[in-house]
Amino acid sequence: MFSLEGKTALVTGASGGIGSAIAYALARQGARLALSGSNSAKLRSFREQINEEVGGDHVEITCDLSNTTQVEELIPATVDTLGKIDILVNNAGVTRDNLAMRMKDDEWDAVMRINLEAAFRLMRAAARPMMKARHGRIVSITSVVGATGNPGQMNYAAAKAGLVGMSKSLAQELASRGITVNCVAPGFIRTAMTDQLPDAQKDALNARIPMGRMGEGEDIGAAVAYLASDEAAYVTGQTLHVNGGMAMMS
């Protein structure tokens, strides 16, 4: 069940905490991966690690998502390298947190360019070969704050909410071609960054979650693997919230 044998997938931000968990989840189900990120050394090390631990002939493609030219080249490079693209996972993202009254234009622009515009360009480019194949899966990683908002994250919340609306629109355009477009919205997920928080701050975060703990990267990887599978063929235009009950969406 949920086998991805014979499928290819591009994962952006693949060497990060959540990105690496997504990559492992897809690879363990049999997908061959194009791992993308901006840090070529970190990306190469991760590619060697996943090849060794999971097996398969995965590849890395360095891409700075703030660079429009590099973004436009990423899907063609993936198709050239893997032969096709079955699954696109828009995972990469940045934060430039600030209160609205203090937010600088470049803080707004950077988040929009990487978190929203780059995802749009990749979705548009991936749709072409997927339409030709009459099959495809596009999954974008949004956030609970895209639905609830968060002080100091006006730019980030707007970009993540924009991903949801963009995905719903594209889902309607591509549904007749056998292509699904969905989102996964993580809540608080334990990463190397959250591990460094003071215990008091972690306790305060956990107190906001009915399950009493942060999620793991593997929780997000499992959600993406499901949406990328044939079993999710009738699921499109949806957002799967993975947040331990912190925000219960209808």
Give the neighbor-by-neighbor strand order of the sheet with 87-90.
Answer: 59-62, 32-37, 8-12, 87-90, 136-141, 179-186, 239-242
Which ranges constitute the DSSP H helices of the chain?
17-28, 40-54, 68-82, 105-111, 118-133, 145-148, 154-174, 192-195, 199-207, 217-228
Q: Which residues contact 153 (CB under 8 A, 6 or more apart)?
A: 95, 97, 145
Euclidean distance between CA atoms 185 and 242, whole angstroms: 6
**List 24, 156, 226, 234, catalytic entry:** 156
Name the residue among 82, 84, 112 with its Cα closest to residue 96: 112
Structure tokens at 33: 């991966």
Q: How many CB atoms lie within 10 A of CB 142?
A: 26
CB-count burial class (<10 Å; 0-12, 13-18, 19+) for 55: exposed
Q: Which residues contact 62 (CB under 8 A, 6 or more apart)?
A: 36, 37, 38, 39, 40, 43
Q: In this structure, are residues 126 and 138 in contact, taking their beta carbons and an 8 Å threshold?
A: yes
Active site residue 226: no
Structure tokens at 57: 């002939």
Catalytic residue positions, numbered: 156
